């Protein structure tokens, strides 16, 4: 994805340490202290511009949410939404998904969302896919027993790869949708990519999976 440089992004992020966590290591095992209420913690890895996670935090005040995004020029759009919305149950983390074990302790997370993750279609880049085994190991470590991964994509190749990856890892698929928008699934909150691809008529794939611990 080509990202437009926003020279003002750094300054805006630095002005809002109440929303964008500046010292995430310090909160390992203590994330509940960042929120008004102690309640289940849901994280999204690769939040992009944040439409989904902001929508979820608004729709579900009974959960706490953390948006994780590595690209500053994209993350700043989540921050702009949060400055408007001022949601007490949403925090933003500017970190890489492969370092989550530095920031979350074992079992601290109830649910992980992966939405329209970069497909990395070349086989030699498979390790970068957020559903590769090395990421599943990280998710397993930080998820509480019974914790789930909810994954949506328009990319059929990534979806097929992920089904195999989850299955080889011994995970249990709870539910699979091959065309989410014509299903009876309720409460879907669209991401920016979902809006873009579904408006072109592409089916949206979705699954819910859990580790068998
Ligand atoms: N989820 C959003 C949506 O559906 O509109 C964005 C999808 S975009 C294709 C993927 C996003 O994930 C990008 O913003 C990218 O910077 C971010 N990303 C990719 N790999 C990541 C990683 N390892 N850790 C954190 N963010 C990542």
49-74 residue pLDDT tens: 999 999 999 999 999 999 999 999 99
The pLDDT value given to residue 67: 98
181 in Cβ contact with 198 (< 8 Å):
yes
Considering the entire predicted model, what is its pTM?
Answer: 0.97
Fold of 9-210: Rossmann fold (3.40.50)
Dihedral of the alpha carbons of 128, 134, 140, 143, in degrees to the nearest 10: -40
The alpha carbon of 70 and the centre of ligand 1 are apart by a number of angstroms equal to: 7
Q: How confident is the model at residue 1 (pLDDT cuts 50, 70, 90)?
A: low
Q: Is 44 annotated as a binding-site member?
A: yes
Residues involved in catalysis: 118
What's the pLDDT tens digit per position in 101-147? 999 999 999 999 999 999 999 999 999 999 999 999 999 999 999 99
Q: Which residues line ligand 1 (CB under 6 A)?
A: 1, 45-48, 68-71, 74, 96-98, 115-118, 191-194
The pLDDT value given to residue 3: 81
Q: What angle do CA 161, 206, 132 make, to 5 degrees?
A: 30
**Would you say how long the chain is, in residues?**
213
Atom nearest to 115 CA in ligand 1: 1
What number of H helices and E strands is found in the chain?
A: 6, 7
The pLDDT value given to residue 212: 85
Q: Is 185 annotated as a binding-site member?
A: no
The pLDDT value given to residue 148: 98
Whose tokens are 């879907």? That residue is 188
Higher pLDDT, 99 or 1: 99
ipTM for the complex shown = 0.99
Q: Is 14 annotated as a binding-site member?
A: no
Beta-bridged to residue 153, according to DSSP, are: 205
Pocket test for ligand 1, best of 6, 43, 46 (most atoms within 8 A of CB): 46
């Amino acid at each position: 994805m080509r990202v437009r440089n926003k020279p003002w992004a750094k300054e805006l992020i630095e002005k809002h340490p109440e929303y964008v966590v500046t010292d995430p290591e310090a909160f390992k095992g203590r994330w509940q202290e960042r929120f008004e209420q102690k309640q289940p913690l849901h994280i999204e890895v690769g939040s992009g511009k944040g439409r989904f996670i902001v929508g979820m935090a608004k729709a579900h005040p009974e959960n706490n949410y953390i948006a994780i995004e590595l690209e500053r020029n994209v993350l700043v759009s989540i921050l702009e939404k949060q400055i408007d919305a001022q949601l007490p149950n949403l925090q933003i983390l500017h970190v890489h998904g492969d370092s989550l074990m530095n920031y979350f302790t074992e079992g601290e997370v109830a649910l992980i969302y992966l939405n329209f993750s970069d497909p990395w279609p070349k086989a030699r880049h498979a390790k970068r896919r957020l559903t590769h085994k090395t990421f599943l190991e990280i998710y397993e470590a930080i998820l509480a027993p019974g914790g789930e991964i909810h994954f949506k994509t328009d990319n059929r190749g990534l979806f097929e790869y992920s089904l195999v990856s989850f299955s080889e890892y011994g995970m249990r698929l709870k539910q699979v949708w091959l065309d989410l928008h014509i299903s009876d699934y309720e409460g879907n909150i669209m991401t920016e990519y979902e809006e873009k691809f579904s408006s072109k008529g592409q089916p949206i794939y979705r699954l819910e999976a859990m580790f068998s611990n």
